Amino acid sequence: MLASPAVAAPVAIPLSANDAALVERARAYLSDLHGAKGRFVQTDPRGTISAGTFWLERPGRARFEYDPPSGLVIASDGRRVRLVDRRLKTIQAYPLSVTPLALFLARDIRLDRGVVVTQVTRRAGGFSILARDGRKQAQGRITLDFTDPPLALAGWALTDPQGGVTRVRLLDFAPAGPFLATLFVLTDPKAMSAAPDRR
């Protein structure tokens, strides 16, 4: 779900008027998307497919809970992204600002400022926007996929330094929320297992 720093960022080419109009439509749509819930299917660079349930709540909050037998949960509380593996009892944490997810979880989505849109690709039934953080703070690159019409977020792809791509496809995507803040907070599974039984 997260990508490492990109070795070489693509060169930004000035967008045509039609491409710029699509980018603006996507920005307006994402800005109006306050909360959503659904299912996702992820394909990693090795071709391994996994699935799970996701929750999004802008600004900054997201949770991806993978189906068994995976024990992986990824959640952003608005400041940090945490990855918990319940089977291995491990936890990792990153600032949200250094992940590509920050591009569309931001409070104010500006695809014309601070973000470099390097390509707009049209396809049957929709389009894609390839973007990276213009300040080079976010790690990796992200491609946002949209269906159109109707305009809706269909998923995204994250590219790692070696060119490997992790694709996430959203299913049953529907507006939802607000959610409890605790949904987006993950704790260290080792600490939980070490806690005394108070029953």
| Structure-token pair, residue 106 | 């931001």
Decide if pLDDT at 136 tops 80. no
Q: What is the pLDDT of residue 98?
A: 80
pLDDT band of residue 18 (cuts 50, 70, 90) is: very high
What's the mean pLDDT in 106-123? 80
pLDDT band of residue 5 (cuts 50, 70, 90) is: very low
Report the percent of the chain where pLDDT is more than 90: 59
Decide if pLDDT at 145 tops 50. yes
CA gap 115, 132 in Å, rounded? 6
For 162-198, how does the pLDDT look when each residue is reduced to its tens digit (9 = 90+)?
Answer: 788 999 999 988 889 999 999 999 988 877 555 444 4
The verdict on residue 65 lying in a domain is yes
How many domains would you assign to the chain? 1
The verdict on residue 7 lying in a domain is no
Q: What is the pLDDT of residue 103?
A: 78
Decide if pLDDT at 54 tops 90. yes
Lowest pLDDT segment from 23-32, 128-137, 139-148, 175-184: 128-137
Q: Which segments within the chain are labelled E, that is strand? A: 35-43, 49-57, 61-66, 72-77, 80-85, 90-95, 115-123, 126-133, 141-147, 152-159, 165-175
* Domain of residue 166, CATH code: 2.50.20.10
The verdict on residue 184 lying in a domain is no
CA gap 57, 71 in Å, rounded? 23
The pTM of this model reads 0.82
pLDDT band of residue 9 (cuts 50, 70, 90) is: very low
Residue 22 or residue 116, greater confidence: 22
The verdict on residue 81 lying in a domain is yes
Segments forming the whole domain that contains residue 96: 17-172
What's the mean pLDDT in 96-103? 81
Q: What is the pLDDT of residue 118?
A: 84
The verdict on residue 113 lying in a domain is yes
The verdict on residue 177 lying in a domain is no
